[in-house]
Amino acid sequence: MTISMHPQALAMLEAIKASGEPPLETLSAAEARRLADERVVRTNGPPEPVEAVDTLEPSDAGVPRLRLYHPGGGPLPVLLFLHGGGWTVGNLETHDPQCRYLANRVRCLVVAVEYRLAPEHRFPAAYEDCWAALRWVADHAATYGGDPGRIAVAGDSSGGGLAVSLCIAARDAGGPSLVGQALIYPALDLGMATDSYRRLADGYFLTAAKMRWFVNNYLSDPMQAEDIRASPLRAASLAGLPPALVIITDLDPLCDDGRAYAARLKEDGVEVDLVEYTGWPHGFFFWSGTDAAADGLARVETALIRAFETTPKPL
């Protein structure tokens, strides 16, 4: 099989290699965070101004640190954004430019979640923090200019998997009601048994070894991969979930997760738009100036606007 990488992607990977960054899986979690977070900030675009940006530490039990991006006006629909990073790296800063972009372009209140990271806080800590954040948003959005009747979730990689797990939990709990989900190369089955994990095990930024390191940091027992809060693709049914945008790319070990999720959503009667990029590896969403990053952000923007506009606004 001949694999062709987009020239912009190849240039980004060569720049990362030239930086001398060692494989994350050879480092401590603390050192991996430092290097990975610095790299994301370096490859990201400059943050654009938003009318109001506030970082909150809610007093509600179990609710993690949150950052709210408010573009003005309202009441606004609300986007709960869950950052990626293998449940081990990433924070409010690494995904700040994307949250600002979406707040301004979609005209929504973006709430970014700083959930606890592994291995200091193993499964289900990240899930529990995100679930607590979603319930907090449903209860408090109106106080901050948001419309609790129009909430969507989004996330990349591990954050995408967490977003799907929230959709399933909200459906099963009878709320909060969600109007959409926007997923960027989501991690949806921590068993790591798909063909793409074998076919793309090495050489394309996210390797199988790196992904195994992330999963081992997060799960304290391999059997936890059977829990749908960790592997939401294993849910018995996906019926009743909100409309979805699923973005994948062909040089990513996670691509089969996204394909399988989109196929199951369609089978279960859920509206889904599957977008696949060719010649790009995992992580491209944060490579400012590249064609795929710009197009991916625009697609998330369009999907969220559609999700919010098809939901009645409050009188």
Q: Which residues are catalytic?
A: 157, 252, 282
Which of 108, 109, 112, 99 lies closest to 64, judged by CA? 112
Kind of pairing between the strands at 244-251 and 65-70: unpaired
Pair 87, 126: CB distance under 8 Å = yes
From residue 250, alpha-carbon distances to 28, 55, 76, 163, 279 in Å are 29, 36, 35, 22, 6
Residue owning tokens 């738009």: 273
Apex 263 CA angle, 213 and 177, nearest 5: 85
33: tokens are 């965070």
Strand-pair category, 109-114 with 52-56: unpaired
Q: How far apart are CA 37 and CA 299, in angstroms?
A: 25
Measured distance CA(177)–CA(106) in Å, rounded? 19
Exposed, middle or buried: residue 293 (CB in 10 Å: 0-12, 13-18, 19+)?
buried
> Would you say the C-alpha torsion 121, 125, 129, 130 has a positive or negative sign?
positive
Residue with tokens 């996210």: 206
If we measure between CA atoms, which residue out of 311, 315, 298 comes closest to residue 150?
311
User: What's the rounded Cα separation, in Å, for the pair 112 and 31?
Assistant: 23
Q: Integer distance in angstroms from the first to the last C-alpha of the chain?
A: 56
Q: Give the whole-angstrom CA distance, residue 163 versus residue 143.
A: 23
Enter the tokens of residue 84. 């990626």
